[in-house]
Protein backbone atom coordinates (compact mmCIF):
# COMPACT_ATOMS: atom_id res chain seq x y z
CA UNK A 1 0.00 0.00 0.00
CA UNK A 2 1.30 3.47 -0.91
CA UNK A 3 2.42 5.64 2.01
CA UNK A 4 -0.01 8.44 1.16
CA UNK A 5 -2.90 5.98 0.93
CA UNK A 6 -2.04 4.47 4.30
CA UNK A 7 -1.72 7.96 5.81
CA UNK A 8 -5.19 8.79 4.55
CA UNK A 9 -6.63 5.65 6.12
CA UNK A 10 -5.11 6.41 9.52
CA UNK A 11 -6.40 10.00 9.44
CA UNK A 12 -9.82 8.73 8.39
CA UNK A 13 -10.02 6.65 11.55
CA UNK A 14 -9.76 9.81 13.67
CA UNK A 15 -12.34 11.63 11.56
CA UNK A 16 -14.74 8.69 11.65
CA UNK A 17 -14.86 8.79 15.44
CA UNK A 18 -15.64 12.51 15.45
CA UNK A 19 -18.49 12.08 12.98
CA UNK A 20 -20.51 10.51 15.81
CA UNK A 21 -18.52 10.30 19.07
CA UNK A 22 -21.62 9.26 21.02
CA UNK A 23 -22.15 6.21 18.84
CA UNK A 24 -18.46 5.33 19.02
CA UNK A 25 -18.22 5.41 22.80
CA UNK A 26 -21.52 3.56 23.30
CA UNK A 27 -20.35 0.77 21.00
CA UNK A 28 -16.99 0.65 22.80
CA UNK A 29 -18.76 0.41 26.15
CA UNK A 30 -20.96 -2.44 24.96
CA UNK A 31 -18.13 -4.42 23.40
CA UNK A 32 -15.69 -3.97 26.29
CA UNK A 33 -18.16 -3.91 29.20
CA UNK A 34 -16.59 -0.91 30.88
CA UNK A 35 -18.00 2.10 32.67
CA UNK A 36 -17.88 5.48 30.91
CA UNK A 37 -17.49 8.70 32.91
CA UNK A 38 -18.27 11.87 31.00
CA UNK A 39 -16.56 15.17 31.69
CA UNK A 40 -17.10 18.75 30.65
CA UNK A 41 -14.18 21.03 29.83
CA UNK A 42 -11.84 22.00 31.20
CA UNK A 43 -9.01 20.44 33.25
CA UNK A 44 -10.78 17.36 34.60
CA UNK A 45 -8.09 14.82 35.67
CA UNK A 46 -8.78 12.03 33.18
CA UNK A 47 -5.96 9.99 34.70
CA UNK A 48 -8.07 9.49 37.84
CA UNK A 49 -11.02 8.25 35.80
CA UNK A 50 -8.78 5.88 33.86
CA UNK A 51 -7.15 4.52 37.04
CA UNK A 52 -10.62 3.68 38.36
CA UNK A 53 -11.13 1.31 35.44
CA UNK A 54 -13.58 3.60 33.62
CA UNK A 55 -13.21 5.35 30.27
CA UNK A 56 -13.12 9.19 30.34
CA UNK A 57 -15.33 10.75 27.66
CA UNK A 58 -15.12 14.45 26.83
CA UNK A 59 -18.51 16.02 26.10
CA UNK A 60 -17.42 18.84 23.85
CA UNK A 61 -18.30 20.38 20.51
CA UNK A 62 -21.63 18.60 20.07
CA UNK A 63 -24.10 20.78 18.19
CA UNK A 64 -27.87 20.71 18.35
CA UNK A 65 -30.43 20.39 21.12
CA UNK A 66 -30.03 23.96 22.35
CA UNK A 67 -33.77 24.58 22.49
CA UNK A 68 -34.10 21.67 24.91
CA UNK A 69 -31.95 23.57 27.40
CA UNK A 70 -33.76 26.90 27.06
CA UNK A 71 -36.25 26.13 29.82
CA UNK A 72 -33.45 25.41 32.28
CA UNK A 73 -30.59 27.77 31.45
CA UNK A 74 -30.44 31.53 31.01
CA UNK A 75 -30.31 32.70 27.41
CA UNK A 76 -26.78 34.03 27.86
CA UNK A 77 -25.31 30.63 28.81
CA UNK A 78 -22.69 29.60 26.26
CA UNK A 79 -23.54 27.13 23.53
CA UNK A 80 -20.99 24.65 24.88
CA UNK A 81 -22.97 24.24 28.10
CA UNK A 82 -26.39 24.53 26.48
CA UNK A 83 -25.51 21.92 23.90
CA UNK A 84 -24.22 19.49 26.54
CA UNK A 85 -27.35 19.81 28.67
CA UNK A 86 -29.44 19.56 25.52
CA UNK A 87 -27.87 16.20 24.72
CA UNK A 88 -28.74 14.97 28.21
CA UNK A 89 -32.32 16.19 27.98
CA UNK A 90 -32.73 14.33 24.69
CA UNK A 91 -31.57 11.15 26.39
CA UNK A 92 -28.41 10.93 24.28
CA UNK A 93 -26.12 10.74 27.33
CA UNK A 94 -28.13 8.11 29.20
CA UNK A 95 -25.36 5.57 28.57
CA UNK A 96 -22.98 7.46 30.88
CA UNK A 97 -22.25 5.86 34.24
CA UNK A 98 -21.22 9.21 35.66
CA UNK A 99 -20.34 12.81 34.94
CA UNK A 100 -17.78 15.29 36.29
CA UNK A 101 -18.47 19.01 35.93
CA UNK A 102 -15.54 21.32 36.74
CA UNK A 103 -16.35 24.68 38.31
CA UNK A 104 -14.59 27.08 35.96
CA UNK A 105 -17.20 29.84 35.53
CA UNK A 106 -20.56 31.00 36.87
CA UNK A 107 -22.46 28.85 34.37
CA UNK A 108 -20.69 25.60 35.26
CA UNK A 109 -21.12 26.33 38.98
CA UNK A 110 -24.89 26.23 38.51
CA UNK A 111 -25.03 23.51 35.87
CA UNK A 112 -24.54 20.52 38.17
CA UNK A 113 -27.60 21.26 40.29
CA UNK A 114 -29.78 21.81 37.23
CA UNK A 115 -28.54 18.64 35.53
CA UNK A 116 -29.15 16.53 38.64
CA UNK A 117 -32.69 17.87 38.83
CA UNK A 118 -33.79 17.48 35.21
CA UNK A 119 -31.81 14.44 33.98
CA UNK A 120 -29.85 12.77 36.80
CA UNK A 121 -27.16 10.19 36.04
CA UNK A 122 -26.21 7.30 38.36
CA UNK A 123 -23.21 9.28 39.60
CA UNK A 124 -22.52 13.00 39.26
CA UNK A 125 -19.78 15.08 40.83
CA UNK A 126 -18.49 18.64 40.73
CA UNK A 127 -14.76 19.31 40.51
CA UNK A 128 -13.94 22.34 42.62
CA UNK A 129 -10.82 23.94 41.19
CA UNK A 130 -8.98 26.71 43.05
CA UNK A 131 -9.18 30.07 41.33
CA UNK A 132 -6.11 31.67 42.90
CA UNK A 133 -3.55 29.03 42.03
CA UNK A 134 -0.60 31.17 43.11
CA UNK A 135 -1.58 31.11 46.77
CA UNK A 136 0.50 28.72 48.92
CA UNK A 137 -2.70 26.98 50.03
CA UNK A 138 -3.73 26.11 46.45
CA UNK A 139 -1.52 23.03 46.21
CA UNK A 140 -2.77 21.64 49.52
CA UNK A 141 -6.37 22.42 48.66
CA UNK A 142 -6.19 20.88 45.19
CA UNK A 143 -4.49 17.71 46.44
CA UNK A 144 -7.33 17.35 48.94
CA UNK A 145 -9.96 17.98 46.26
CA UNK A 146 -8.39 15.34 44.04
CA UNK A 147 -8.46 12.97 47.01
CA UNK A 148 -12.17 13.62 47.46
CA UNK A 149 -12.80 13.03 43.77
CA UNK A 150 -10.73 9.83 43.92
CA UNK A 151 -12.85 8.48 46.79
CA UNK A 152 -16.06 9.29 44.94
CA UNK A 153 -14.81 7.60 41.75
CA UNK A 154 -13.96 4.49 43.77
CA UNK A 155 -17.55 4.44 45.04
CA UNK A 156 -18.85 4.84 41.49
CA UNK A 157 -16.75 2.10 39.88
CA UNK A 158 -16.33 -0.21 42.86
CA UNK A 159 -12.58 -0.35 42.24
CA UNK A 160 -9.75 0.99 44.37
CA UNK A 161 -7.47 3.55 42.75
CA UNK A 162 -4.06 2.51 44.03
CA UNK A 163 -0.96 4.66 43.72
CA UNK A 164 0.47 2.16 41.25
CA UNK A 165 -2.63 2.22 39.04
CA UNK A 166 -2.65 6.01 39.06
CA UNK A 167 1.05 6.20 38.17
CA UNK A 168 0.43 3.81 35.27
CA UNK A 169 -2.44 5.99 34.06
CA UNK A 170 -0.30 9.12 34.38
CA UNK A 171 2.42 7.45 32.28
CA UNK A 172 -0.14 6.49 29.64
CA UNK A 173 -1.56 10.02 29.40
CA UNK A 174 1.93 11.54 29.41
CA UNK A 175 2.80 9.34 26.45
CA UNK A 176 -0.28 10.58 24.64
CA UNK A 177 0.70 14.21 25.20
CA UNK A 178 4.26 13.56 24.03
CA UNK A 179 2.97 11.95 20.83
CA UNK A 180 0.53 14.79 20.23
CA UNK A 181 3.28 17.37 20.71
CA UNK A 182 5.43 15.50 18.16
CA UNK A 183 2.52 15.55 15.74
CA UNK A 184 2.03 19.26 16.34
CA UNK A 185 5.59 19.86 15.20
CA UNK A 186 4.82 17.91 12.05
CA UNK A 187 1.82 20.17 11.51
CA UNK A 188 3.93 23.32 11.92
CA UNK A 189 6.62 22.14 9.52
CA UNK A 190 4.36 20.31 7.04
CA UNK A 191 0.95 22.08 6.98
CA UNK A 192 0.25 20.68 3.54
CA UNK A 193 0.28 17.19 5.06
CA UNK A 194 -1.11 17.85 8.55
CA UNK A 195 -3.31 20.91 8.18
CA UNK A 196 -5.07 22.95 10.83
CA UNK A 197 -8.32 20.96 10.76
CA UNK A 198 -6.43 17.66 10.81
CA UNK A 199 -4.28 18.41 13.87
CA UNK A 200 -7.16 19.85 15.89
CA UNK A 201 -9.40 16.91 15.00
CA UNK A 202 -6.74 14.53 16.26
CA UNK A 203 -6.42 16.45 19.54
CA UNK A 204 -10.20 16.43 20.00
CA UNK A 205 -10.35 12.70 19.23
CA UNK A 206 -8.08 12.10 22.24
CA UNK A 207 -11.01 13.18 24.41
CA UNK A 208 -13.13 10.38 22.95
CA UNK A 209 -10.93 7.43 21.95
CA UNK A 210 -9.51 5.39 24.88
CA UNK A 211 -5.89 6.37 25.37
CA UNK A 212 -4.41 2.94 24.71
CA UNK A 213 -5.97 2.91 21.24
CA UNK A 214 -5.29 6.59 20.62
CA UNK A 215 -1.60 6.13 21.41
CA UNK A 216 -1.40 3.23 18.97
CA UNK A 217 -3.02 5.32 16.23
CA UNK A 218 -0.64 8.21 16.90
CA UNK A 219 2.40 5.93 16.76
CA UNK A 220 1.20 4.48 13.46
CA UNK A 221 0.61 7.96 12.10
CA UNK A 222 3.99 9.30 13.17
CA UNK A 223 5.78 6.24 11.81
CA UNK A 224 4.06 6.77 8.47
CA UNK A 225 4.93 10.47 8.44
CA UNK A 226 8.56 9.75 9.28
CA UNK A 227 8.77 7.49 6.22
CA UNK A 228 7.52 10.22 3.93
CA UNK A 229 10.27 11.78 1.84
CA UNK A 230 10.51 15.48 2.55
CA UNK A 231 6.91 16.51 2.59
CA UNK A 232 5.50 19.98 2.08
CA UNK A 233 7.46 22.39 4.24
CA UNK A 234 6.11 25.73 5.40
CA UNK A 235 6.52 28.16 2.55
CA UNK A 236 7.58 31.77 3.03
CA UNK A 237 4.20 32.91 1.76
CA UNK A 238 2.29 31.11 4.51
CA UNK A 239 0.67 33.26 7.15
CA UNK A 240 1.62 32.25 10.68
CA UNK A 241 -1.13 32.73 13.25
CA UNK A 242 -1.52 32.36 16.99
CA UNK A 243 -5.07 31.63 18.15
CA UNK A 244 -6.60 32.40 21.53
CA UNK A 245 -9.87 31.44 23.19
CA UNK A 246 -11.51 28.57 25.03
CA UNK A 247 -12.36 26.13 22.23
CA UNK A 248 -11.87 26.07 18.46
CA UNK A 249 -15.44 25.27 17.53
CA UNK A 250 -17.05 25.41 15.08
CA UNK A 251 -14.45 23.21 13.36
CA UNK A 252 -15.17 24.81 9.98
CA UNK A 253 -13.02 27.73 11.14
CA UNK A 254 -9.98 25.55 10.59
CA UNK A 255 -11.19 24.75 7.09
CA UNK A 256 -11.28 28.48 6.38
CA UNK A 257 -7.71 28.95 7.60
CA UNK A 258 -6.53 25.95 5.56
CA UNK A 259 -8.28 27.28 2.48
CA UNK A 260 -6.62 30.69 2.74
CA UNK A 261 -3.10 29.49 3.45
CA UNK A 262 -2.83 30.30 7.16
CA UNK A 263 -0.94 28.02 9.56
CA UNK A 264 -1.79 27.91 13.25
CA UNK A 265 1.57 27.92 15.00
CA UNK A 266 0.28 27.93 18.58
CA UNK A 267 -2.81 28.54 20.72
CA UNK A 268 -4.06 28.58 24.30
CA UNK A 269 -7.28 26.57 23.74
CA UNK A 270 -8.49 24.11 26.35
CA UNK A 271 -9.11 21.84 23.34
CA UNK A 272 -5.76 22.66 21.78
CA UNK A 273 -2.23 23.12 23.03
CA UNK A 274 -3.31 23.78 26.60
CA UNK A 275 -4.74 20.25 26.61
CA UNK A 276 -1.50 18.62 25.49
CA UNK A 277 1.06 20.88 27.19
CA UNK A 278 2.85 19.79 30.36
CA UNK A 279 3.10 16.33 31.90
CA UNK A 280 2.56 15.01 35.41
CA UNK A 281 5.48 13.49 37.31
CA UNK A 282 5.55 9.70 37.06
CA UNK A 283 7.35 9.26 40.38
CA UNK A 284 6.45 10.32 43.89
CA UNK A 285 2.91 10.94 45.13
CA UNK A 286 0.66 10.72 42.03
CA UNK A 287 -2.04 12.91 43.60
CA UNK A 288 0.45 15.70 44.16
CA UNK A 289 1.74 15.16 40.63
CA UNK A 290 -1.75 15.80 39.22
CA UNK A 291 -2.20 18.83 41.45
CA UNK A 292 1.12 20.34 40.36
CA UNK A 293 0.36 19.77 36.69
CA UNK A 294 -2.91 21.65 37.11
CA UNK A 295 -1.31 24.53 38.99
CA UNK A 296 1.46 24.89 36.39
CA UNK A 297 -0.72 24.74 33.29
CA UNK A 298 -0.62 27.59 30.80
CA UNK A 299 -3.28 30.22 31.51
CA UNK A 300 -6.73 30.76 30.13
CA UNK A 301 -9.46 33.13 31.15
CA UNK A 302 -10.75 31.07 34.08
CA UNK A 303 -7.32 30.51 35.68
CA UNK A 304 -5.00 33.53 35.69
CA UNK A 305 -1.65 33.04 37.38
CA UNK A 306 1.23 35.25 38.42
CA UNK A 307 3.68 32.80 36.86
CA UNK A 308 1.92 33.06 33.51
CA UNK A 309 0.44 36.53 33.15
CA UNK A 310 -1.96 35.83 30.32
CA UNK A 311 -1.35 39.09 28.48
CA UNK A 312 2.42 38.75 28.34
CA UNK A 313 2.12 34.99 27.78
CA UNK A 314 0.12 35.46 24.58
CA UNK A 315 2.37 38.24 23.29
CA UNK A 316 5.45 36.11 23.98
CA UNK A 317 3.79 33.12 22.30
CA UNK A 318 3.21 35.19 19.18
CA UNK A 319 6.81 36.44 19.23
CA UNK A 320 8.29 32.99 19.77
CA UNK A 321 6.38 31.64 16.78
CA UNK A 322 7.08 34.66 14.54
CA UNK A 323 3.34 35.12 14.10
CA UNK A 324 2.00 37.55 11.56
CA UNK A 325 -1.14 38.05 13.62
CA UNK A 326 -3.36 36.84 16.48
CA UNK A 327 -6.89 35.56 15.96
CA UNK A 328 -9.22 35.58 18.98
CA UNK A 329 -12.00 32.98 18.79
CA UNK A 330 -14.41 33.95 21.53
CA UNK A 331 -17.32 31.71 22.38
CA UNK A 332 -20.49 33.77 22.51
CA UNK A 333 -21.53 34.66 26.06
CA UNK A 334 -18.24 33.45 27.57
CA UNK A 335 -17.83 36.12 30.23
CA UNK A 336 -14.27 35.21 31.32
CA UNK A 337 -12.99 35.57 27.75
CA UNK A 338 -14.89 38.81 27.21
CA UNK A 339 -13.51 40.31 30.42
CA UNK A 340 -9.94 39.42 29.40
CA UNK A 341 -10.17 40.55 25.80
CA UNK A 342 -9.40 44.30 26.05
CA UNK A 343 -6.17 43.64 27.98
CA UNK A 344 -5.21 40.74 25.72
CA UNK A 345 -5.72 42.77 22.56
CA UNK A 346 -3.76 45.68 23.95
CA UNK A 347 -0.88 43.38 24.91
CA UNK A 348 -0.49 41.66 21.53
CA UNK A 349 -0.96 44.85 19.50
CA UNK A 350 1.51 46.74 21.69
CA UNK A 351 3.97 43.95 20.88
CA UNK A 352 3.39 44.59 17.17
CA UNK A 353 0.94 41.82 16.31
CA UNK A 354 -2.32 42.78 14.52
CA UNK A 355 -5.36 40.96 15.85
CA UNK A 356 -8.94 40.09 15.00
CA UNK A 357 -11.69 38.96 17.35
CA UNK A 358 -14.54 36.83 16.03
CA UNK A 359 -17.46 35.59 18.08
CA UNK A 360 -18.15 31.89 17.73
CA UNK A 361 -21.01 29.58 18.61
CA UNK A 362 -20.90 25.78 18.67
CA UNK A 363 -23.03 24.58 15.76
CA UNK A 364 -24.93 27.82 15.22
CA UNK A 365 -22.98 30.37 13.20
CA UNK A 366 -23.03 32.20 9.89
CA UNK A 367 -19.92 30.72 8.33
CA UNK A 368 -20.14 32.92 5.26
CA UNK A 369 -19.90 36.10 7.29
CA UNK A 370 -17.17 34.58 9.44
CA UNK A 371 -15.09 33.62 6.41
CA UNK A 372 -15.43 37.11 4.95
CA UNK A 373 -14.03 38.68 8.13
CA UNK A 374 -11.19 36.18 8.48
CA UNK A 375 -10.28 36.46 4.79
CA UNK A 376 -10.12 40.26 5.07
CA UNK A 377 -7.87 39.94 8.12
CA UNK A 378 -5.54 37.54 6.31
CA UNK A 379 -5.36 39.81 3.27
CA UNK A 380 -4.43 42.70 5.56
CA UNK A 381 -1.64 40.59 7.05
CA UNK A 382 -0.38 39.69 3.56
CA UNK A 383 -0.31 43.37 2.73
CA UNK A 384 2.10 43.88 5.61
CA UNK A 385 4.45 41.23 4.23
CA UNK A 386 5.01 37.59 5.20
CA UNK A 387 8.73 37.53 5.94
The residue-averaged pLDDT of 132-155 equals 93
Residue 381: domain span: 239-387
Q: CA geometry: angle at 130 spanning 128 and 133, to 5°? A: 155
245 & 370 share domain? yes
pLDDT above 70 coverage of the chain, percent: 93
Q: Tell me: do 106 and 246 sit in the same domain.
A: no
Same domain? For 246 and 126 the reply is: no
> For 104-108, 133-137, 155-159, 346-350, which range has the lowest pLDDT when averaged over its residues?
133-137
Between the CA of residue 340 and those of 11, 246, 299, 314, what are the distances in Å?
36, 12, 12, 12
Residues 257 and 157 in one domain: no
Angle between helix 3-19 and 196-205 (nearest 10):
60
CA dist list (Å): 210 to 103, 180, 335: 24, 15, 32
Mark which of 161, 187, 204 sits at the end of a domain. 161
Residues of the chain above pLDDT 90, percent: 72
Residue 381 pLDDT: 96
pLDDT of 363: 67
Clarify whether residues 145 and 263 are in a common domain. Answer: no
244 and 156 belong to one structural domain:
no
157 and 256 in a single domain? The answer is no
Residues 313-340: tens digit of each pLDDT: 999 999 999 999 999 999 988 988 988 9
**How far is the C-alpha of 94 from the C-alpha of 120, rounded, in Å?**
9
**Confidence band (pLDDT; 50, 70, 90) for 1?**
very low
Phi/psi for 57 (5° steps) reads -130, 115
Q: Are residues 104 and 246 both part of a single domain?
A: no
Taking the CA atoms of 15, 18, 22 and 26 in sequence, report the sign of the dihedral they define: positive
Residue 275 forms part of a structural domain: yes
Residues 251 and 134 both lie in one domain = no
CATH of residue 38's domain is 3.40.50.11890
CA 372 – CA 367 distance, rounded (Å): 9
102-124 pLDDT per residue, tens: 998 888 999 999 999 999 999 99
Q: Lowest mean pLDDT: which of 93-107, 124-138, 180-194, 298-312? A: 298-312
In the predicted model, what is the mean pLDDT of the chain? 91
140: in domain: yes
Instruction: Give domain status of residue 111, yes or no.
Output: yes
Q: Residue 179: pLDDT above 50?
A: yes
- CATH number of the domain to which 381 belongs: 3.40.50.11900
My answer on whether 248 and 345 are in the same domain is yes
Residues 244 and 149 in one domain: no
Does 169 map to a domain? no
Please report whether residue 118 resides in a domain. Answer: yes
The string of pLDDT tens digits covering residues 256-277 is 999 999 999 999 999 999 999 9
Asked if residue 173 belongs to a domain, the reply is no
Decide which of 161, 184, 205 is a domain's last residue. 161
Say what the alpha-carbon torsion angle 203, 208, 213, 216 is, to the nearest 10 degrees.
Answer: -10
As for how many domains the chain has, the answer is 2
Is residue 184 one of the residues assigned to a domain? no
Residue 130 lies in a domain: yes
Which of 91, 126, 161 terminates a domain? The answer is 161
Amino acid sequence: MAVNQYLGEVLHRFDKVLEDPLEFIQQYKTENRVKVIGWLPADVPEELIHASGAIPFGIIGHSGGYSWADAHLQTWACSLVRGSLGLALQGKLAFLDGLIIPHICDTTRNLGGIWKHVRPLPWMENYLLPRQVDRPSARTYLTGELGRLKARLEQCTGREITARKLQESIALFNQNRVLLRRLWQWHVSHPGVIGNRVIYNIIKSAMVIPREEHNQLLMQLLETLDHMAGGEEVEEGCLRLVLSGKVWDPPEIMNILDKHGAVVMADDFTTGQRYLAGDAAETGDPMEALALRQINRIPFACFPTARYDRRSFLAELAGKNRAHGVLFLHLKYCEPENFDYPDMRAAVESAGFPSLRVETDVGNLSLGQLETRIEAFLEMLRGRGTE
